[in-house]
Structure 1
Amino acid sequence: MVVLWTDALIYLLMICGAGFWFCVRGRATMQRPIRKVGRSKTGMVSLTVLLLFVCIGLLDSIHFRTDEERSNEIISLLDYWASPIRQNSEKTYSAPFSAYLFGKELMVVDEGAQVWGYPRLKHGAAHLADPDSDLARDVLLKTVTGLAEGFVFSLLPLSLLWLSVRKQEDAWLKQSTGKTVIIVVVVLISLVFTAIELSAHYHILGTDKVGEDVFYQAVKSIRTGLVIGTLTTLVMLPLAIVFGILAGFFHGWLDDVIQYIYTTLNSIPGVLLIAASILMVQVYMANHPDDFTSLIVRADMRLLFLCLILGVTSWTGLCRMLRAETLKLREMEYVQAARALGVKQGMILYKHILPNVMHIIIISVVLDFSSLVLAEAVLSYINIGVDPTTYSWGNMINGARLEMAREPAVWWSLAAAFLFMFTLVLAANLFADTVRDAFDPRRAEHE
């Protein structure tokens, strides 16, 4: 097993998230908003979609070397399971569900004559003797088969789960929201099985210029989007929480220094700072080639530094909000009473200030996630984002610029990147709206 830097940070983030949930789920101030999120159909459906993306990203974060002869090749568990799609590349472009190349070529027929036409694909629809007449029927048959397999696969665990709570009248699964989530889970699992069934025989989203499957690229890009959105948060949160609370609570010279730091940082153009940092990383890797013998290690290092730079440049907004909230909380009666009773300042910060700004932290984290995913696409589009060898929606969009200029246009790479990124960002935004409504104390006062 090979643990990349981003893999290790993802594992650390999972541990921190589990620890945070264990600490806050028993707090009375957190139970009401958590229950409100659990009652929201929109929030739970969007969370279910996000969990599907997270599962795919985690599968792509378990890396290992293949064999001794090719010891430098590092693949993930997702790559291993998707080996037929990963290895079955074509010569060049092919449209979704097509059995032929997208462009005409000079072909030699059985009689030795040369004709100008569309060659057959090596892998896509290769099992069909006559694609012109059999393709539509075969696609329909495999779609139905995939849906049936997914439905049967999801039926058994959901049935066991339902039997375990059938005697509990107030069980969450028996409520309207729980039933909706069950339906969504069945639909998602059925769609996943359908995609697996179809992609084993067709390029369901076509191929790119070098003949690589676009569906595989879009699925592999999920991890990059999640890493940018989550690891950047891991870098941003400690800076924002510590500096924001300290500046608002202690005032004086400490407040002035912290304000000077984030004001100065905001005055530096973020794009220039990111570009300079990425250039420094590239120069370092070029000067130390022995430390980066694999392409995936080089790409992972660039991705890690991109997360670090985005985290360093994006903590200032949350820091301002926490400072302003802390300025208000430090004058509240319970804080003044704690001071009068001789409670240590560190304990006041931990027991009184931090729990009462937690709603701001949670709301900011879920709202910033989608913007960070979009930021990766923009940065990769202008070639200062992730490494060009890294699968990402930004690189797919960047590569689709020239493809869209062809005649006829090759549209499926752009459409695939847009579809996957739109689904992830939409689910994140809907869940963020639900969390904001649940955790905002001003909204709770009007309920």
Structure 2
Amino acid sequence: MMFKPVMLWTDALIFLLLAAVGIFTWYVRRHDHLRVPWRRVLTNPTGMAAAVVLMVFVVIGLLDSLHYRPALTSKAGQPARYGVEVLSALDAMLPELRAHKEKTYSAPLATHLYAKEAIVLADGRSVRDYPRLKYGGAQLTDTHSQWEHDILQRIIAGVLKGLALTVLLVLLLSASLARQQAIGLKVALIRLLRDGDAIPWRTLLITCSILLVLGLVIAQLAAAYHVFGTDKVGQDVLYSSLKSIRTGLVIGTLTTLVMLPFALLLGIVAGYFRGWVDDLIQYLYTTLNSIPGVLLIAASVLIVQVYIEAHPDIFDTTAARSDVRLLFLCLILGVTSWTGLCRLLRGETLKLREQEYIQAATAFGVSHWRIITRHILPNLQHLVLITVVMDFSGLVLAEAVLSYVGVGVDPATYSWGNMINSARLEMAREPVVWWQLSAAFVFMFALVLAANLFADSVRDAFDPRGRAQ
């Protein structure tokens, strides 16, 4: 085989979560009381635009979760050997971004290094100047006269390709709509562009058009330049930003899986049974809240790090060691972040417990478990869903903060927090290296903003009090 598949712990959990989302989608389609609110989310223009942006991040994260070890060249008759470096499908799609490393810092779209060095000329003289990059703008013979024209040409090519794909997408959607509704292609096209349907097609097309144009412009520029420059070791910053997407998604999603069981079980039990059970659970999460979360996380991460260093035979690759630390960080964040949702569910359960239909079920001898699963839990679903979606962005930001203070993911793991941590020293040098911090901020801002806008749409669709207003 040309490669050996590798399944990391977080990879398995990601695909398990993907399967759970598929099952949940199938369940929603079979129940009207769930299908109607989700349809309301899809008819919200803001929610639709945010969902498209989130899907782009999710696709990149899934591609970066398909790991493998490339095969090494071996003689005939010898067993296959594989490299120790663990790559992903995203690496296979971006070989130039991964392999084209410069000597050190270079500015975005630059053709020379960012700092002067001693250069020996052909006649033997030594001068201090900015050396040419090995890959950035290597196709140019005269950077002073050709650089602006080449940049402009690549931007125009990317815009034209993006617009061409947008037109093709519009025609495909029009043909599909015309076939489904048994109308003419022209009528379907007009209805599509005028939002004459329940789904905001125009918003969807505008969002896709912007993403296509932006993506293809970056792709055209990245083929010959470092779009976001390079870092201290010469690694392309755009590549580091794209690889950091998976870390942000893992922190935001897997932490939720750990947090939900604690919050649901303890919150509902405390509010339903009350008495000494309520007092015990309140004491538990009040005590946990009184301890600074950073201290718990730092202590847990140090314990995991000591265990990894004491058992090097268990973790055969750098990726495996980094993945275990990332997984334990998700577990620690989940264990320390369930208290807010638990308190919210406890208060709502206390209110629901006094409703007449709950008291009637109790009077008829219905078991506590059946009351909780059939009456309490369904009426808490909107709170759980809204809180989970809105907490996603907070968890992404938490990873950046923890990595900045040194108790986050492994330093060898690509993450926006590690990029910001590296940029801390770069901002103090002269001249200032600003692009690594800016790239991490742009990607993080796009993901968090899309998550927050989508959360607002989910809240408006699922909150009964908001619909009543």
Q: Is the pair's TM-score, using the shorter chain for normalization, greater than 0.5?
A: yes
Return 59-68 or 245-254, whichever deviates more.
Answer: 245-254
3-state SS of paired residue (2:454): helix
Measure how far apart 1:162 and its partner are. 2.3
> Given that residues 137 and 225 in structure 2 are in contact (C-alpha distance below 8 angstroms), is that contact kept between their aligned partners in structure 1?
yes
3-state SS of paired residue (1:122): coil
After superposition, where does 1:17-416 map in structure 2 within 5 Å? 17-68=21-72, 70-166=82-178, 168=181, 174-175=196-197, 177-416=200-439
TM-score (norm 1): 0.95
3-state SS of paired residue (2:127): strand
What count of residue pairs does the alignment treat as equivalent? Answer: 446
Deviations 1:251-289 (A, max 9, x none): 233323322221221122100000000000000001100
Deviations 1:4-27 (A, max 9, x none): 111111111112222223223443
Deviations 1:104-158 (A, max 9, x none): 1111222222221111000000011111111111111112222333333454455
Question: What amino acid is the match of 1:8?
Answer: A
> Aligned equivalents of 2:283 and 2:16: distance in 1?
31
> Aligned equivalents of 1:74 and 1:97: distance in 2?
29
> Aligned equivalents of 2:375 and 2:31: distance in 1?
13
> Aligned equivalents of 2:44 and 2:340: distance in 1?
28
> Given that residues 166 and 205 in structure 2 are in contact (C-alpha distance below 8 angstroms), is that contact kept between their aligned partners in structure 1?
no
Unaligned runs of 5+ in 1: none
Deviations 1:27-74 (A, max 9, x none): 343344323222221111111111111111111111011113552111
Question: What amino acid is the match of 2:31?
Answer: R
Unaligned runs of 5+ in 2: 73-80
Return 305-314 or 329-338, whichever deviates more.
Answer: 329-338
Measure how far apart 1:174 and its partner are. 4.3
3-state SS of paired residue (1:318): helix
Identify the match of residue 12 of structure 1 among 3, 9, 16: 16
3-state SS of paired residue (1:79): helix
TM-score (norm 2): 0.91
> Aligned equivalents of 1:20 and 1:238: distance in 2?
17
Measure how far apart 1:353 and its partner are. 1.1
Question: What amino acid is the match of 2:407?
Answer: I
**Residues 320 and 25 from structure 1, CA distance in 2 versus in 1: closer, same or farther, beyond 3 angstroms?**
farther
3-state SS of paired residue (2:137): coil
Question: What amino acid is the match of 1:428?
Answer: A
> Given that residues 140 and 147 in structure 2 are in contact (C-alpha distance below 8 angstroms), is that contact kept between their aligned partners in structure 1?
yes
> Aligned equivalents of 1:282 and 1:105: distance in 2?
39
3-state SS of paired residue (1:64): strand
Measure how far apart 1:83 and its partner are. 1.1
Question: What amino acid is the match of 2:114?
Answer: F
Alignment RMSD: 1.8
Deviations 1:226-263 (A, max 9, x none): 11111100111111111111221122333233222212
Question: What amino acid is the match of 1:379?
Answer: L
3-state SS of paired residue (2:433): coil
Give the aligned partner of residue 450 of structure 2: 427
> Aligned equivalents of 2:406 and 2:139: distance in 1?
40
